[in-house]
Amino acid sequence: LRDVHLKNIADPLLDDSHKKLTELHLPVNPTLDSVMNEREKNPEYVEYNQRMKNVLNDQSPYKFNRTSSLDDLFLELTRLIYRLYENFKLPFRIRNCSANQLQLYEALRLQYEIYLPSSNDYVGVGSVSLLSDYVSRRLMIRYKKDRSNKGSTSKVESKQSTINNPNQIYTNENHVQMIHAQFVDIDQLVKCYVEKEQRNFSQST
């Protein structure tokens, strides 16, 4: 699961024998076919890929509201950034970072990478990270749930409710779950655009 790549076009790094794999790719290696066959038999791998493809191809309006689950918000942000990158008209991929590439505060990171011809590789230009409650536990950021209302309330709303009803008893305090998103690194994006135009110009002349 961690090595799955979702690409908008055929991978420039793959040779002709593997160009038929235009949707899901792994990094180039001598055992690419065997690895792909093994992973495709994994039900979790298939379910994850299918869900991601369904989300990215979903044309319905974006749904951000206070009742959305953390997973729903994470997928909506992924879809929103994917649509943005499609408009760049550049070869890009979404890479599910492996555990050794994550920061201490990250539970999951999907990294957006654009192909850079000069390095013959993809460079990171954006990401969506699931932080879980790592940061909120250290900064003591919490929200409360009361017995009369099963939904969550913000800290400000909770304080106001306590002032209005001092006898109200709160059952527990929960740490806030967080998501961090970097839509695009402008410096890297400009570099990719410049190299693309230079390459097109050299080919036309």
- The tens-digit pLDDT sequence of the chain (205 residues) is 334 455 555 555 543 333 333 343 434 444 444 444 555 566 666 666 666 777 777 777 766 666 567 888 888 888 888 888 988 888 888 888 888 889 988 988 999 999 888 888 899 999 999 988 888 888 988 887 655 555 545 555 545 554 455 444 444 668 888 899 999 999 999 999 998 888 776 776 6
Q: Which whole-number Å values give the CA distances from 49 to 18, 55, 56, in the listed order?
A: 19, 10, 11
**Length of the chain (residues):** 205
Rg (CA), the chain: 22
pLDDT, position 34: 47
User: From CA 26, how far away is CA 38, in angstroms rounded?
Assistant: 12
User: From CA 83, how far away is CA 69, in angstroms rounded?
Assistant: 21
Are 129 and 181 in contact, with CB atoms under 8 Å apart? yes
pLDDT, position 141: 87
pLDDT, position 1: 32
User: From CA 84, how far away is CA 112, in angstroms rounded?
Assistant: 11
User: From CA 145, how far away is CA 159, in angstroms rounded?
Assistant: 12
User: From CA 43, how far away is CA 25, in angstroms rounded?
Assistant: 17
pLDDT, position 187: 93
Cβ partners under 8 Å of residue 163, min gap 6 = none
pLDDT, position 23: 40
Reduced 3-state DSSP string for the chain: CCCCEEECCCCCCCCHHHCCCCCEECCCCCCHHHHHHHHHCCHHHHHHHHHHHHHHHCCCCCCCCCCCCHHHHHHHHHHHHHHHHHCCCCCEEEEECCHHHCCCCCCEEEEEEEEECCCCEEEEEEEEEEEECHHHHHHCCEEEEECCCCCCECHHHHHHHHHHCCCCCEEEEEECCEEEEECCCHHHHHHHHHHHHHHHHHHHC
pLDDT, position 170: 44
pLDDT, position 96: 86
